[in-house]
Each structure stands twice: as C-alpha cells, then as structure tokens.
A and B are shown apart, each in its own frame.
Chain A
C-alpha cells in the first residue's frame, strides 16, 4: 500500500516538474510547481517525515510560491513568450549535460539496492512515539543543532533587509 502510494506521488511529481520546464505561461509553470511540491510532501509523509511534509506545504506551496506568483503578476509576464526556450546548439549542449548527469546518477542508483531502512527508521519511529511529530524534530534542533539554528535566524534577517533594500524604488 505504502509503496503503491509512493509510486503514485512520485509519478505525479515527475510529470508536474516536467510541466514546470515546458509550460509556456509562467503562471502555468508555477501551478505545476505547486502540484510537484504537494506530491513531494506526500512522499515525505510516506517516509515518516510528517513535520517536514506540513512545513513543505506551508512554507513552499504557501509562502514561496505565492511570492513567485506575486512577482510574476507584478511584472505582468503572462504573455509575449515567443523566445523563452533556447533552441539550436545550446539545447544540444544542455541535453548532453543533462544526459551525462542522468547517466551517472542512474549508474549510481540503478544497480543493486544499497542502503535499506533499518537503524535510522527504528530511531525515527522511537522518537515519533516518544515526542510526537514536532518534538522528534524540535529536540535535536534545539539541542545539538542550536548554533546553526541561530545562524539561520541571522540569515533570514539579512535576507529580509537585503530584499527590502534591493526592491525599493530609489528616490533621487
């Protein structure tokens, strides 16, 4: 059951991300991306990452995609997209690069099944049973990883200030 659901979510994610690349309208591209994010969130649920699945929907699909949509509509980019895809020699080079990369990854992952879910899955199940979906993430985040967490806060502050300064209309 879980595996079947995983395959369904994975195929939706792959098809939707192909749609992101080939959609002519940026808004359509964005909606495909939202579908892809939702189905990736579904795969997170199946892999015992419940809190991350919720965060994926709230932060990515809810906040970041709305930000993209806001910018697309602000810049009025819904039409005049004649020359958006690169063709000719450039697309051949891009296909070669992507083919090489995909081939290497297939060589890496396509062979024998390497790591199987054993120790980590047991640890996560224990943490989920003891602390709940949020506590399982929050405990290591606020103990072992507290310094990176604080640095992340500073990064967000810098990003906010930078975005305001960059996007502000300069009054001369």
Chain B
C-alpha cells in the first residue's frame, strides 16, 4: 500500500506542476498548487505507515499553511483584479522588461 500511495503522490504532483505551468488563469494556478500540496500530504501519510505518526502531524501543519496561503493568495488576486480587470497572469507585466 505504501508503494502505491507514493506512486499516486508522484502522479498528482506531476499533474499539479503541469497545471501551474500550462494555465494562465491565476485562480486555476492556485488550485493546482493546492493539488501539489495534497500530493505531498499523500506522501506524508504513506510514510507515516512506515515511520510512525509524526507524518500525520506534518499533514496537519501543511493543511494549516495551505489554508493561510489560500486566504492571502485569493486576497492578492482580488486586489490585482481591481487594477487590471483580469486574472490572466500574462497581463501582469509591470515588472517585465
């Protein structure tokens, strides 16, 4: 079961990375980052079956950080949307040269 869970974790992480690279909608990119965090959580839970319950504690912390990140990130997206009227990351070119 541990091995299968690690394969699942790797698959989800790769899919999440592909989504971050390929999408332009900032909210979908955030969603794919959440997917990557979940993939890491699966790996933590899988390893907690090998090394003890500490892995599950770490999943708890990862979830808390993900919640904080989602709140702040979505606030930033709303703030950007007020300026540019879009969430397309290709349009945010103020720092580009």
Q: CB within 8 Å of B: which residues of A?
A: 2-3, 6-7, 10, 13-14, 17-18, 20-21, 26, 29-30, 33, 36-37, 40, 43-44, 46-49, 51-52, 55-56, 59-60, 63-64, 67-68, 71-72, 74-75, 77, 81, 83-86, 90-91, 93-95, 97-98, 101-102, 105-106, 108-110, 113-121, 123-124, 127, 136-137, 140-141, 145, 148, 152, 155-156, 158-160, 162-164, 166-167, 169
Contacts and interface: CB of A to CB of B under 8 A. Distances in A.
B14 A105 contact: yes
A52 B60 CA distance: 7
Contacts of A77: 25, 27, 87
Contacts of B3: 109, 113-114
14 contacts: A6-B4, A7-B4, A10-B4, A20-B15, A21-B15, A36-B12, A47-B46, A60-B38, A75-B27, A94-B21, A97-B21, A101-B13, A137-B57, A155-B65
Nearest to B54: A140
Chain A interface main SS type = helix
For the side of the interface on B, what is the size category? Answer: 35 or more
Given A49-B59, A140-B57, A43 B42 contact: yes
B81 A75 contact: yes
Nearest to B63: A59
A159 B13 CA distance: 25
A21 B49 contact: no
Given A123-B52, A152-B61, A166-B79, A85 B22 contact: yes
Given A117-B50, A124-B53, A166-B79, 12 more contacts: A14-B15, A20-B19, A20-B32, A21-B22, A40-B42, A48-B49, A71-B77, A84-B23, A97-B17, A109-B7, A140-B54, A163-B75
Nearest to B19: A21
B44 to A, nearest CB: 9
A102 B49 contact: no
A165 B65 CA distance: 19
A164 to B, nearest CB: 8
A121 B46 CA distance: 10
Contact of A137 (B7, B47, B56, B87): B56
Given A14-B8, A71-B78, A141-B60, A64 B70 contact: yes
Nearest to B64: A152
